[in-house]
Amino acid sequence: MLRELQISNLAIIDKLHVEFQPGLNILTGETGAGKSIIIDAVNLILGGRASSELIRSGAEEASVEALFDLTERPELAKSLAASGIECDGELLVRRVVSRGGKNRVFISGGLATTTMLAELSRGLINIYGQHDSQTLLKIDQHLRLLDGFAGCLKLREEFQSRFEAYQKARAELEALEQGEREAARRLDLLSFQNEEIASAKLYAGEEEELAEERGRLAHGEKLLAASQQAFDALYGDDAALLGRLRRVIGSVSEASAIDRNLAPVCENLEGAFAQLEDASLTLRDYAAGVEADPGRLEQLDDRIDAINKLKRKYGADIAEILSYQEGIAAELAGLTGREQARDHLSAEIEALKDELARLGKRLSEERHKGAAALKTGMERELGELAMKHAVFETSFEALTEPRSYGFERAEFLFSPNPGEPPRPLAKVASGGELSRLMLALKQLHPESEVPTLIFDEVDTGIGGATSALVGVKLKKVAGAQQVLAITHLPQVAAFADQHLRVEKAVTDGRTSTCVQRLEGEGRVAEVARMLGGAKITEKTLEHARELIQEAATC
Protein backbone atom coordinates (compact mmCIF):
# COMPACT_ATOMS: atom_id res chain seq x y z
CA MET A 1 0.00 0.00 0.00
CA LEU A 2 0.97 3.67 -0.30
CA ARG A 3 2.37 4.68 3.08
CA GLU A 4 3.85 8.14 2.49
CA LEU A 5 3.83 10.80 -0.20
CA GLN A 6 6.21 13.75 -0.25
CA ILE A 7 5.78 16.55 -2.80
CA SER A 8 8.07 19.52 -3.46
CA ASN A 9 7.46 22.53 -5.74
CA LEU A 10 4.55 21.03 -7.65
CA ALA A 11 1.97 23.61 -8.81
CA ILE A 12 0.92 25.51 -5.67
CA ILE A 13 2.49 22.93 -3.35
CA ASP A 14 5.70 24.10 -1.73
CA LYS A 15 6.50 21.26 0.64
CA LEU A 16 3.96 18.59 1.49
CA HIS A 17 4.26 15.33 3.38
CA VAL A 18 1.24 13.05 3.68
CA GLU A 19 0.98 9.72 5.49
CA PHE A 20 -1.72 7.27 4.45
CA GLN A 21 -3.20 4.36 6.38
CA PRO A 22 -4.77 1.04 5.45
CA GLY A 23 -8.49 1.15 4.74
CA LEU A 24 -10.40 4.19 3.51
CA ASN A 25 -8.46 7.45 3.27
CA ILE A 26 -10.78 10.37 2.51
CA LEU A 27 -9.47 13.67 1.13
CA THR A 28 -11.73 16.70 1.38
CA GLY A 29 -11.36 20.44 1.00
CA GLU A 30 -12.61 23.48 -0.87
CA THR A 31 -12.55 23.52 -4.64
CA GLY A 32 -9.10 24.63 -5.79
CA ALA A 33 -7.40 23.69 -2.55
CA GLY A 34 -5.07 21.27 -4.33
CA LYS A 35 -6.71 17.86 -4.04
CA SER A 36 -6.28 17.21 -7.76
CA ILE A 37 -2.60 18.21 -7.51
CA ILE A 38 -2.07 15.35 -5.07
CA ILE A 39 -3.58 13.00 -7.65
CA ASP A 40 -1.31 14.55 -10.31
CA ALA A 41 1.66 13.82 -8.04
CA VAL A 42 0.62 10.17 -7.71
CA ASN A 43 0.21 10.05 -11.48
CA LEU A 44 3.84 11.12 -11.88
CA ILE A 45 4.88 8.27 -9.60
CA LEU A 46 2.96 5.93 -11.88
CA GLY A 47 5.04 7.02 -14.87
CA GLY A 48 2.55 9.58 -16.19
CA ARG A 49 3.55 12.41 -18.52
CA ALA A 50 5.50 15.22 -16.89
CA SER A 51 5.37 18.88 -17.93
CA SER A 52 7.52 21.79 -16.80
CA GLU A 53 4.25 23.71 -16.33
CA LEU A 54 3.68 21.62 -13.20
CA ILE A 55 6.73 23.16 -11.52
CA ARG A 56 5.97 25.82 -8.90
CA SER A 57 6.85 29.32 -10.04
CA GLY A 58 10.31 30.36 -8.88
CA ALA A 59 11.56 26.77 -8.63
CA GLU A 60 13.79 24.97 -11.12
CA GLU A 61 12.48 21.49 -10.44
CA ALA A 62 9.67 19.61 -8.77
CA SER A 63 9.89 16.23 -7.10
CA VAL A 64 7.55 13.54 -5.83
CA GLU A 65 8.54 10.69 -3.54
CA ALA A 66 6.33 7.76 -2.61
CA LEU A 67 7.01 5.06 -0.05
CA PHE A 68 5.14 1.78 -0.51
CA ASP A 69 4.71 -0.92 2.11
CA LEU A 70 4.83 -4.36 0.48
CA THR A 71 4.91 -6.53 3.61
CA GLU A 72 1.43 -7.85 2.89
CA ARG A 73 2.18 -8.27 -0.79
CA PRO A 74 5.18 -10.64 -0.88
CA GLU A 75 4.38 -11.59 -4.47
CA LEU A 76 5.06 -7.99 -5.55
CA ALA A 77 8.35 -7.92 -3.64
CA LYS A 78 9.32 -11.22 -5.27
CA SER A 79 8.46 -9.88 -8.72
CA LEU A 80 10.56 -6.76 -8.09
CA ALA A 81 13.48 -8.86 -6.88
CA ALA A 82 13.30 -10.88 -10.11
CA SER A 83 13.71 -7.57 -11.97
CA GLY A 84 16.76 -6.68 -9.91
CA ILE A 85 14.99 -4.29 -7.51
CA GLU A 86 15.57 -5.16 -3.88
CA CYS A 87 12.92 -3.60 -1.64
CA ASP A 88 13.05 -5.53 1.66
CA GLY A 89 9.34 -4.96 2.33
CA GLU A 90 9.50 -1.26 1.41
CA LEU A 91 9.76 0.40 -1.98
CA LEU A 92 10.82 4.02 -2.46
CA VAL A 93 10.05 5.73 -5.77
CA ARG A 94 11.20 9.27 -6.64
CA ARG A 95 10.40 11.35 -9.72
CA VAL A 96 12.10 14.67 -10.49
CA VAL A 97 10.84 17.09 -13.17
CA SER A 98 13.07 20.02 -14.22
CA ARG A 99 12.38 23.12 -16.29
CA GLY A 100 15.10 22.13 -18.71
CA GLY A 101 13.07 19.06 -19.63
CA LYS A 102 15.44 16.63 -17.94
CA ASN A 103 13.38 14.21 -15.88
CA ARG A 104 14.88 11.66 -13.52
CA VAL A 105 13.40 8.53 -11.98
CA PHE A 106 14.79 6.66 -8.97
CA ILE A 107 13.54 3.26 -7.79
CA SER A 108 14.91 2.12 -4.42
CA GLY A 109 17.76 4.61 -4.86
CA GLY A 110 18.77 3.37 -8.31
CA LEU A 111 18.38 5.40 -11.49
CA ALA A 112 15.57 4.12 -13.71
CA THR A 113 13.45 5.10 -16.72
CA THR A 114 9.84 6.23 -16.93
CA THR A 115 9.10 3.06 -18.91
CA MET A 116 10.39 0.96 -16.01
CA LEU A 117 8.35 3.10 -13.62
CA ALA A 118 5.15 2.71 -15.66
CA GLU A 119 5.67 -1.07 -15.80
CA LEU A 120 6.30 -1.23 -12.06
CA SER A 121 3.32 0.96 -11.13
CA ARG A 122 0.81 -1.38 -12.76
CA GLY A 123 1.06 -3.58 -9.72
CA LEU A 124 0.94 -0.76 -7.15
CA ILE A 125 -1.88 1.73 -7.77
CA ASN A 126 -4.91 2.20 -10.00
CA ILE A 127 -6.53 5.62 -10.35
CA TYR A 128 -10.18 5.93 -11.30
CA GLY A 129 -11.27 9.40 -12.26
CA GLN A 130 -10.34 12.14 -14.68
CA HIS A 131 -6.82 10.88 -15.42
CA ASP A 132 -5.07 9.14 -18.28
CA SER A 133 -4.16 5.99 -16.33
CA GLN A 134 -7.66 4.63 -15.84
CA THR A 135 -7.89 0.87 -16.13
CA LEU A 136 -11.39 1.04 -17.63
CA LEU A 137 -10.10 3.09 -20.55
CA LYS A 138 -7.63 0.35 -21.45
CA ILE A 139 -9.58 -2.05 -23.63
CA ASP A 140 -6.95 -4.76 -23.20
CA GLN A 141 -7.82 -4.80 -19.49
CA HIS A 142 -11.55 -5.39 -20.02
CA LEU A 143 -11.15 -9.08 -20.78
CA ARG A 144 -8.98 -9.59 -17.69
CA LEU A 145 -11.56 -7.80 -15.52
CA LEU A 146 -14.30 -9.98 -17.01
CA ASP A 147 -12.25 -13.14 -16.47
CA GLY A 148 -11.70 -12.16 -12.85
CA PHE A 149 -15.40 -11.64 -12.31
CA ALA A 150 -16.35 -14.84 -14.19
CA GLY A 151 -13.85 -16.87 -12.14
CA CYS A 152 -11.96 -18.20 -15.13
CA LEU A 153 -8.50 -16.73 -14.55
CA LYS A 154 -7.04 -20.20 -13.89
CA LEU A 155 -8.59 -21.47 -17.12
CA ARG A 156 -7.13 -18.45 -18.89
CA GLU A 157 -3.68 -19.20 -17.42
CA GLU A 158 -3.99 -22.79 -18.62
CA PHE A 159 -4.90 -21.54 -22.08
CA GLN A 160 -1.97 -19.12 -22.06
CA SER A 161 0.42 -21.90 -21.06
CA ARG A 162 -0.78 -24.09 -23.93
CA PHE A 163 -0.69 -21.11 -26.30
CA GLU A 164 2.96 -20.43 -25.40
CA ALA A 165 3.79 -24.08 -26.08
CA TYR A 166 1.90 -23.81 -29.40
CA GLN A 167 3.83 -20.67 -30.39
CA LYS A 168 7.14 -22.27 -29.44
CA ALA A 169 6.42 -25.39 -31.51
CA ARG A 170 5.36 -23.26 -34.49
CA ALA A 171 8.54 -21.17 -34.25
CA GLU A 172 10.66 -24.33 -34.12
CA LEU A 173 8.90 -25.79 -37.14
CA GLU A 174 9.24 -22.52 -39.07
CA ALA A 175 12.94 -22.35 -38.28
CA LEU A 176 13.28 -25.98 -39.35
CA GLU A 177 11.52 -25.33 -42.66
CA GLN A 178 13.37 -22.09 -43.34
CA GLY A 179 16.68 -23.94 -42.93
CA GLU A 180 15.60 -26.84 -45.13
CA ARG A 181 17.48 -25.70 -48.26
CA GLU A 182 20.62 -24.90 -46.31
CA ALA A 183 20.30 -28.22 -44.49
CA ALA A 184 20.06 -30.06 -47.81
CA ARG A 185 23.22 -28.35 -49.05
CA ARG A 186 24.95 -29.12 -45.80
CA LEU A 187 23.84 -32.74 -45.98
CA ASP A 188 25.31 -33.11 -49.49
CA LEU A 189 28.60 -31.54 -48.44
CA LEU A 190 28.96 -33.64 -45.30
CA SER A 191 28.01 -36.83 -47.14
CA PHE A 192 30.71 -36.15 -49.74
CA GLN A 193 33.31 -35.39 -47.09
CA ASN A 194 32.41 -38.48 -45.10
CA GLU A 195 32.65 -40.68 -48.20
CA GLU A 196 35.96 -39.11 -49.23
CA ILE A 197 37.53 -39.79 -45.84
CA ALA A 198 35.97 -43.23 -45.45
CA SER A 199 37.12 -44.39 -48.90
CA ALA A 200 40.71 -43.46 -48.02
CA LYS A 201 40.69 -46.11 -45.26
CA LEU A 202 43.12 -44.23 -43.09
CA TYR A 203 44.48 -45.68 -39.88
CA ALA A 204 46.62 -44.34 -37.06
CA GLY A 205 50.39 -44.60 -37.68
CA GLU A 206 50.02 -45.08 -41.44
CA GLU A 207 52.05 -41.97 -42.32
CA GLU A 208 55.03 -43.18 -40.35
CA GLU A 209 54.89 -46.61 -42.01
CA LEU A 210 54.69 -45.10 -45.48
CA ALA A 211 57.59 -42.74 -44.86
CA GLU A 212 59.75 -45.61 -43.62
CA GLU A 213 58.97 -47.89 -46.57
CA ARG A 214 59.44 -45.10 -49.09
CA GLY A 215 62.82 -44.27 -47.55
CA ARG A 216 63.96 -47.86 -48.04
CA LEU A 217 62.83 -47.99 -51.67
CA ALA A 218 64.23 -44.59 -52.54
CA HIS A 219 67.71 -45.54 -51.20
CA GLY A 220 67.80 -49.20 -52.31
CA GLU A 221 71.14 -49.02 -54.14
CA LYS A 222 72.84 -47.38 -51.23
CA LEU A 223 71.40 -49.91 -48.78
CA LEU A 224 72.48 -52.81 -51.04
CA ALA A 225 76.01 -51.50 -51.39
CA ALA A 226 76.36 -50.84 -47.69
CA SER A 227 75.06 -54.25 -46.62
CA GLN A 228 77.08 -56.08 -49.27
CA GLN A 229 80.29 -54.25 -48.40
CA ALA A 230 79.73 -54.92 -44.72
CA PHE A 231 79.15 -58.64 -45.41
CA ASP A 232 82.26 -58.89 -47.52
CA ALA A 233 84.33 -57.14 -44.89
CA LEU A 234 83.07 -59.51 -42.20
CA TYR A 235 82.84 -62.86 -44.01
CA GLY A 236 83.32 -62.62 -47.75
CA ASP A 237 86.97 -63.69 -48.20
CA ASP A 238 90.13 -64.88 -46.39
CA ALA A 239 91.05 -61.34 -45.56
CA ALA A 240 87.66 -60.80 -43.94
CA LEU A 241 87.40 -59.89 -40.30
CA LEU A 242 85.87 -63.23 -39.21
CA GLY A 243 88.71 -65.26 -40.85
CA ARG A 244 91.34 -63.25 -39.08
CA LEU A 245 89.36 -63.42 -35.82
CA ARG A 246 89.22 -67.20 -36.15
CA ARG A 247 93.01 -67.33 -36.37
CA VAL A 248 93.34 -65.07 -33.35
CA ILE A 249 91.03 -67.38 -31.38
CA GLY A 250 93.18 -70.37 -32.36
CA SER A 251 96.35 -68.70 -31.08
CA VAL A 252 94.75 -67.61 -27.80
CA SER A 253 93.23 -71.09 -27.35
CA GLU A 254 96.65 -72.71 -27.62
CA ALA A 255 98.04 -70.21 -25.15
CA SER A 256 95.18 -70.80 -22.69
CA ALA A 257 96.07 -74.50 -22.65
CA ILE A 258 99.36 -73.40 -21.15
CA ASP A 259 98.01 -70.60 -18.96
CA ARG A 260 94.41 -70.99 -17.86
CA ASN A 261 94.24 -67.27 -17.03
CA LEU A 262 93.67 -66.69 -20.77
CA ALA A 263 90.60 -68.94 -20.82
CA PRO A 264 88.15 -66.04 -20.17
CA VAL A 265 89.70 -64.02 -22.96
CA CYS A 266 89.25 -66.97 -25.25
CA GLU A 267 85.59 -67.26 -24.25
CA ASN A 268 85.04 -63.56 -24.95
CA LEU A 269 86.61 -63.86 -28.37
CA GLU A 270 84.41 -66.89 -29.12
CA GLY A 271 81.31 -64.91 -28.15
CA ALA A 272 82.32 -61.93 -30.28
CA PHE A 273 82.92 -64.28 -33.21
CA ALA A 274 79.43 -65.77 -32.87
CA GLN A 275 77.79 -62.29 -32.77
CA LEU A 276 79.78 -61.03 -35.74
CA GLU A 277 78.93 -64.20 -37.65
CA ASP A 278 75.20 -63.67 -37.00
CA ALA A 279 75.48 -60.05 -38.09
CA SER A 280 77.29 -61.00 -41.30
CA LEU A 281 74.65 -63.60 -42.19
CA THR A 282 71.89 -61.06 -41.50
CA LEU A 283 73.64 -58.54 -43.77
CA ARG A 284 73.90 -61.23 -46.46
CA ASP A 285 70.19 -61.98 -46.26
CA TYR A 286 69.33 -58.25 -46.18
CA ALA A 287 71.45 -57.58 -49.27
CA ALA A 288 69.76 -60.46 -51.01
CA GLY A 289 66.36 -58.94 -50.25
CA VAL A 290 67.13 -55.39 -51.37
CA GLU A 291 65.59 -54.69 -54.74
CA ALA A 292 64.61 -51.69 -56.83
CA ASP A 293 60.79 -51.50 -57.21
CA PRO A 294 59.79 -48.32 -59.10
CA GLY A 295 56.14 -49.44 -59.21
CA ARG A 296 55.89 -49.79 -55.46
CA LEU A 297 57.64 -46.46 -54.98
CA GLU A 298 55.07 -44.80 -57.23
CA GLN A 299 52.26 -46.41 -55.24
CA LEU A 300 53.73 -45.06 -52.04
CA ASP A 301 54.06 -41.57 -53.50
CA ASP A 302 50.45 -41.65 -54.67
CA ARG A 303 49.25 -42.77 -51.24
CA ILE A 304 51.25 -40.07 -49.46
CA ASP A 305 49.93 -37.46 -51.91
CA ALA A 306 46.33 -38.58 -51.28
CA ILE A 307 46.85 -38.30 -47.52
CA ASN A 308 48.36 -34.83 -47.91
CA LYS A 309 45.30 -33.68 -49.89
CA LEU A 310 43.03 -34.89 -47.09
CA LYS A 311 45.23 -33.13 -44.53
CA ARG A 312 44.87 -29.84 -46.42
CA LYS A 313 41.08 -30.18 -46.18
CA TYR A 314 40.39 -31.81 -42.85
CA GLY A 315 43.31 -31.75 -40.42
CA ALA A 316 47.01 -31.49 -39.72
CA ASP A 317 47.43 -35.26 -39.45
CA ILE A 318 45.50 -38.51 -39.77
CA ALA A 319 44.34 -38.31 -36.13
CA GLU A 320 42.71 -34.91 -36.79
CA ILE A 321 41.14 -36.16 -40.03
CA LEU A 322 39.58 -39.12 -38.26
CA SER A 323 38.36 -36.83 -35.45
CA TYR A 324 36.79 -34.54 -38.03
CA GLN A 325 35.04 -37.55 -39.56
CA GLU A 326 33.52 -38.38 -36.18
CA GLY A 327 32.09 -34.85 -36.01
CA ILE A 328 30.68 -35.24 -39.52
CA ALA A 329 28.97 -38.46 -38.52
CA ALA A 330 27.30 -36.77 -35.54
CA GLU A 331 26.08 -33.84 -37.64
CA LEU A 332 24.84 -36.16 -40.36
CA ALA A 333 22.81 -38.03 -37.77
CA GLY A 334 21.21 -34.76 -36.70
CA LEU A 335 20.47 -33.69 -40.27
CA THR A 336 19.00 -37.00 -41.27
CA GLY A 337 16.77 -36.76 -38.17
CA ARG A 338 15.19 -33.47 -39.37
CA GLU A 339 12.40 -35.28 -41.12
CA GLN A 340 11.48 -37.07 -37.92
CA ALA A 341 11.71 -33.78 -36.00
CA ARG A 342 9.43 -32.07 -38.53
CA ASP A 343 6.87 -34.85 -38.29
CA HIS A 344 7.05 -34.72 -34.49
CA LEU A 345 6.57 -30.92 -34.40
CA SER A 346 3.70 -31.06 -36.88
CA ALA A 347 1.94 -33.64 -34.75
CA GLU A 348 2.60 -31.62 -31.60
CA ILE A 349 1.19 -28.46 -33.22
CA GLU A 350 -1.97 -30.23 -34.30
CA ALA A 351 -2.45 -31.67 -30.81
CA LEU A 352 -1.94 -28.22 -29.26
CA LYS A 353 -4.39 -26.66 -31.73
CA ASP A 354 -7.02 -29.19 -30.70
CA GLU A 355 -6.30 -28.49 -27.03
CA LEU A 356 -6.49 -24.72 -27.59
CA ALA A 357 -9.80 -25.13 -29.40
CA ARG A 358 -11.17 -27.14 -26.49
CA LEU A 359 -9.91 -24.74 -23.82
CA GLY A 360 -10.91 -21.71 -25.90
CA LYS A 361 -14.46 -23.00 -26.22
CA ARG A 362 -14.73 -23.51 -22.46
CA LEU A 363 -13.22 -20.08 -21.85
CA SER A 364 -15.63 -18.42 -24.24
CA GLU A 365 -18.63 -20.14 -22.67
CA GLU A 366 -17.56 -19.04 -19.19
CA ARG A 367 -16.98 -15.50 -20.40
CA HIS A 368 -20.37 -15.17 -22.05
CA LYS A 369 -22.07 -16.48 -18.92
CA GLY A 370 -19.96 -14.11 -16.84
CA ALA A 371 -20.81 -11.18 -19.14
CA ALA A 372 -24.54 -11.80 -18.64
CA ALA A 373 -24.12 -11.91 -14.87
CA LEU A 374 -21.85 -8.86 -14.96
CA LYS A 375 -24.46 -6.89 -16.89
CA THR A 376 -27.13 -7.70 -14.30
CA GLY A 377 -24.87 -6.91 -11.36
CA MET A 378 -23.39 -3.73 -12.82
CA GLU A 379 -26.74 -2.25 -13.78
CA ARG A 380 -28.05 -3.00 -10.29
CA GLU A 381 -25.01 -1.40 -8.63
CA LEU A 382 -25.10 1.60 -10.97
CA GLY A 383 -28.79 2.08 -10.20
CA GLU A 384 -27.87 2.34 -6.51
CA LEU A 385 -25.26 4.92 -7.46
CA ALA A 386 -27.86 7.30 -9.01
CA MET A 387 -27.51 5.86 -12.52
CA LYS A 388 -30.83 4.02 -12.67
CA HIS A 389 -31.12 3.99 -16.44
CA ALA A 390 -27.53 3.06 -17.19
CA VAL A 391 -26.87 0.12 -19.51
CA PHE A 392 -23.71 -1.95 -19.22
CA GLU A 393 -22.78 -4.64 -21.72
CA THR A 394 -19.80 -6.61 -22.97
CA SER A 395 -19.07 -6.77 -26.69
CA PHE A 396 -17.13 -9.78 -28.01
CA GLU A 397 -15.05 -9.94 -31.17
CA ALA A 398 -14.13 -13.41 -32.43
CA LEU A 399 -10.57 -13.98 -33.61
CA THR A 400 -9.61 -16.27 -36.47
CA GLU A 401 -6.31 -17.12 -34.79
CA PRO A 402 -5.78 -17.63 -31.06
CA ARG A 403 -4.02 -15.13 -28.85
CA SER A 404 -2.56 -15.70 -25.41
CA TYR A 405 -5.95 -14.86 -23.88
CA GLY A 406 -8.17 -16.96 -26.13
CA PHE A 407 -10.12 -16.72 -29.36
CA GLU A 408 -11.87 -13.42 -28.65
CA ARG A 409 -11.49 -9.83 -27.56
CA ALA A 410 -13.89 -8.11 -25.20
CA GLU A 411 -14.83 -4.48 -24.67
CA PHE A 412 -17.17 -2.93 -22.12
CA LEU A 413 -19.97 -0.79 -23.54
CA PHE A 414 -21.92 1.79 -21.57
CA SER A 415 -24.91 4.06 -21.92
CA PRO A 416 -25.64 6.48 -19.05
CA ASN A 417 -28.85 7.85 -20.55
CA PRO A 418 -32.10 6.12 -21.54
CA GLY A 419 -32.66 5.69 -25.26
CA GLU A 420 -28.95 5.88 -26.12
CA PRO A 421 -27.27 2.70 -27.41
CA PRO A 422 -24.30 1.40 -25.42
CA ARG A 423 -20.98 2.64 -26.75
CA PRO A 424 -17.32 2.13 -25.78
CA LEU A 425 -16.53 3.52 -22.33
CA ALA A 426 -13.74 5.78 -23.59
CA LYS A 427 -16.19 7.59 -25.87
CA VAL A 428 -19.13 8.16 -23.53
CA ALA A 429 -18.13 7.87 -19.84
CA SER A 430 -17.08 10.96 -17.90
CA GLY A 431 -14.44 10.81 -15.17
CA GLY A 432 -17.06 10.61 -12.43
CA GLU A 433 -18.98 7.93 -14.29
CA LEU A 434 -15.80 5.90 -14.76
CA SER A 435 -15.13 6.10 -11.04
CA ARG A 436 -18.63 4.86 -10.26
CA LEU A 437 -18.32 2.11 -12.85
CA MET A 438 -15.15 0.87 -11.21
CA LEU A 439 -16.68 1.21 -7.76
CA ALA A 440 -19.62 -0.89 -8.93
CA LEU A 441 -17.27 -3.44 -10.45
CA LYS A 442 -15.33 -3.66 -7.18
CA GLN A 443 -18.55 -4.42 -5.32
CA LEU A 444 -19.12 -7.39 -7.59
CA HIS A 445 -15.49 -8.55 -7.64
CA PRO A 446 -13.46 -7.06 -4.79
CA GLU A 447 -10.30 -9.12 -5.28
CA SER A 448 -7.46 -7.30 -7.00
CA GLU A 449 -3.78 -7.66 -7.66
CA VAL A 450 -3.32 -3.93 -7.03
CA PRO A 451 -2.99 -2.97 -3.33
CA THR A 452 -4.09 0.68 -3.65
CA LEU A 453 -7.10 2.20 -5.45
CA ILE A 454 -7.70 5.93 -5.89
CA PHE A 455 -11.22 7.22 -6.61
CA ASP A 456 -11.27 10.82 -7.79
CA GLU A 457 -14.68 12.47 -7.19
CA VAL A 458 -16.58 9.21 -7.50
CA ASP A 459 -19.61 11.04 -6.08
CA THR A 460 -19.99 13.58 -8.89
CA GLY A 461 -23.69 14.13 -9.58
CA ILE A 462 -24.81 12.12 -6.55
CA GLY A 463 -26.87 13.39 -3.66
CA GLY A 464 -29.35 12.36 -1.01
CA ALA A 465 -29.52 8.80 0.27
CA THR A 466 -27.33 7.60 -2.60
CA SER A 467 -24.41 9.53 -1.12
CA ALA A 468 -24.32 7.32 1.97
CA LEU A 469 -24.51 4.24 -0.25
CA VAL A 470 -21.37 5.41 -2.06
CA GLY A 471 -19.65 5.59 1.30
CA VAL A 472 -20.79 2.07 2.19
CA LYS A 473 -19.46 0.74 -1.10
CA LEU A 474 -16.12 2.52 -0.71
CA LYS A 475 -15.81 1.15 2.81
CA LYS A 476 -16.47 -2.36 1.53
CA VAL A 477 -13.76 -2.06 -1.11
CA ALA A 478 -11.37 -0.65 1.53
CA GLY A 479 -11.80 -3.84 3.52
CA ALA A 480 -9.69 -5.68 0.94
CA GLN A 481 -7.48 -2.89 -0.42
CA GLN A 482 -6.24 0.53 0.56
CA VAL A 483 -8.52 3.20 -0.89
CA LEU A 484 -7.87 6.92 -1.39
CA ALA A 485 -10.99 8.88 -2.31
CA ILE A 486 -11.56 12.56 -3.03
CA THR A 487 -15.11 13.59 -2.17
CA HIS A 488 -17.30 16.66 -1.71
CA LEU A 489 -20.05 14.71 0.04
CA PRO A 490 -20.19 14.64 3.85
CA GLN A 491 -22.11 11.36 3.74
CA VAL A 492 -19.08 9.76 2.03
CA ALA A 493 -16.48 11.52 4.20
CA ALA A 494 -18.17 10.14 7.31
CA PHE A 495 -16.96 6.62 6.41
CA ALA A 496 -13.26 7.53 6.50
CA ASP A 497 -10.75 5.42 8.40
CA GLN A 498 -8.47 8.43 8.00
CA HIS A 499 -9.78 11.87 7.10
CA LEU A 500 -7.39 14.34 5.45
CA ARG A 501 -8.33 17.97 4.80
CA VAL A 502 -6.56 19.70 1.90
CA GLU A 503 -6.46 23.49 2.20
CA LYS A 504 -4.65 26.51 0.87
CA ALA A 505 -2.61 28.86 3.01
CA VAL A 506 -0.88 32.16 2.23
CA THR A 507 2.61 32.64 3.70
CA ASP A 508 4.79 35.64 2.84
CA GLY A 509 2.49 36.46 -0.01
CA ARG A 510 2.74 32.97 -1.58
CA THR A 511 -0.11 30.48 -1.78
CA SER A 512 0.66 26.90 -0.88
CA THR A 513 -1.25 23.70 -0.20
CA CYS A 514 -1.13 21.83 3.07
CA VAL A 515 -2.80 18.66 4.35
CA GLN A 516 -4.16 18.26 7.85
CA ARG A 517 -5.13 14.97 9.42
CA LEU A 518 -8.50 15.34 11.15
CA GLU A 519 -9.59 13.53 14.29
CA GLY A 520 -12.33 13.96 16.85
CA GLU A 521 -14.02 17.36 16.74
CA GLY A 522 -11.76 18.49 13.91
CA ARG A 523 -13.26 15.81 11.75
CA VAL A 524 -16.76 16.71 12.94
CA ALA A 525 -16.12 20.34 12.00
CA GLU A 526 -15.00 19.39 8.48
CA VAL A 527 -18.04 17.18 7.87
CA ALA A 528 -20.21 20.03 9.21
CA ARG A 529 -18.55 22.45 6.80
CA MET A 530 -19.36 20.07 3.96
CA LEU A 531 -22.95 19.91 5.19
CA GLY A 532 -23.60 23.59 5.80
CA GLY A 533 -21.00 25.59 3.96
CA ALA A 534 -19.33 28.60 5.55
CA LYS A 535 -21.92 28.98 8.31
CA ILE A 536 -21.67 26.13 10.81
CA THR A 537 -24.30 25.89 13.53
CA GLU A 538 -24.58 23.62 16.49
CA LYS A 539 -27.32 21.79 14.64
CA THR A 540 -24.96 21.24 11.71
CA LEU A 541 -22.28 19.92 14.05
CA GLU A 542 -24.77 17.54 15.63
CA HIS A 543 -25.79 16.32 12.19
CA ALA A 544 -22.13 15.74 11.36
CA ARG A 545 -21.63 13.69 14.52
CA GLU A 546 -24.67 11.58 13.66
CA LEU A 547 -23.29 10.89 10.16
CA ILE A 548 -19.94 9.77 11.55
CA GLN A 549 -21.57 7.59 14.22
CA GLU A 550 -23.95 5.98 11.71
CA ALA A 551 -21.06 5.31 9.31
CA ALA A 552 -19.11 3.63 12.11
CA THR A 553 -21.92 1.10 12.62
CA CYS A 554 -22.17 0.11 8.95
Q: Is residue 241 part of a domain?
A: yes
Q: Is residue 201 part of a domain?
A: yes
Q: How confident is the model at residue 131 (pLDDT cuts 50, 70, 90)?
A: very low
pLDDT of residue 439: 85
pLDDT of residue 218: 66
Measuring CA to CA, which residue among 57, 55, 70 is closest to residue 7? 55
Q: How confident is the model at residue 194 (pLDDT cuts 50, 70, 90)?
A: confident
Q: How confident is the model at residue 434 (pLDDT cuts 50, 70, 90)?
A: confident
pLDDT of residue 540: 92
pLDDT at position 337 over 80: no
Please, what is the average pLDDT of the chain? 86
pLDDT of residue 408: 96
Q: Is residue 84 part of a domain?
A: no
pLDDT at position 133 over 50: no
Per the structure, the count of domains in the chain is 1
pLDDT at position 515 over 60: yes
* pLDDT tens readout for residues 16-27: 999 999 999 999
Highest mean pLDDT among 187-196, 434-443, 472-481: 472-481
Q: Are strands 90-98 and 13-19 parallel, antiparallel or unpaired?
A: unpaired
pLDDT at position 109 over 70: yes
181-190, 362-371, 405-414, 496-505: lowest mean pLDDT where? Answer: 181-190
pLDDT of residue 534: 66
32-41, 67-76, 126-135, 179-188: lowest mean pLDDT where? Answer: 126-135
Q: Are strands 482-486 and 452-456 parallel, antiparallel or unpaired?
A: parallel
Q: Is residue 78 part of a domain?
A: no
The 3-state secondary structure of 346-400 reads HHHHHHHHHHHHHHHHHHHHHHHHHHHHHHHHHHHHHHHCCCCCCEEEEEEEEEE
Q: How confident is the model at residue 391 (pLDDT cuts 50, 70, 90)?
A: very high
* pLDDT tens readout for residues 26-76: 999 988 888 888 988 998 998 888 888 888 988 999 999 999 998 887 877
Q: Which residue has the higher pLDDT, 272 or 81?
A: 272
Q: Which long-range contacts (CB under 8 A, 24 or more apart) does 241-248 make?
A: 241/276, 242/273, 242/276, 242/277, 242/280, 245/269, 245/272, 245/273, 245/276, 246/273
Beta bridge partners, 514, equal 503
Beta bridge partners, 97, equal 62, 103
Q: Which residue has the higher pLDDT, 430 or 515?
A: 515
pLDDT of residue 136: 81
* pLDDT tens readout for residues 305-324: 888 899 898 888 898 998 89
Contacts of 188 (CB under 8 A, 6+ apart): none
* pLDDT tens readout for residues 246-282: 888 888 888 888 888 888 988 898 898 889 888 888 8
Rounded to whole angstroms, the Cα distance separating 309 from 199 reads: 14
Q: How confident is the model at residue 203 (pLDDT cuts 50, 70, 90)?
A: confident
pLDDT of residue 179: 65
Q: Which domain holds residue 301?
A: 185-336
pLDDT at position 365 over 80: yes
> Is the pTM higher than 0.75?
no
86-90, 386-390, 545-549: lowest mean pLDDT where? Answer: 86-90
pLDDT at position 470 over 80: yes
Rounded to whole angstroms, the Cα distance separating 394 from 396 reads: 7
Residue 47 neighbours by CB distance under 10 Å: 22
| Average confidence (pLDDT) over 526-549 | 89
Q: Is residue 472 part of a domain?
A: no
Q: Is residue 356 part of a domain?
A: no
* pLDDT tens readout for residues 323-335: 898 888 888 876 7
Q: Is residue 492 part of a domain?
A: no
Q: Is residue 232 part of a domain?
A: yes
Strand-by-strand arrangement of the 13-19 sheet: 13-19, 2-10, 61-69, 90-98, 103-107, 110-112
Q: Are strands 103-107 and 24-28 parallel, antiparallel or unpaired?
A: unpaired
Percent of the chain residues past pLDDT 90, beyond the cut: 36
Percent of the chain residues past pLDDT 70, beyond the cut: 93
Q: How confident is the model at residue 219 (pLDDT cuts 50, 70, 90)?
A: low
pLDDT of residue 448: 66
pLDDT of residue 238: 63
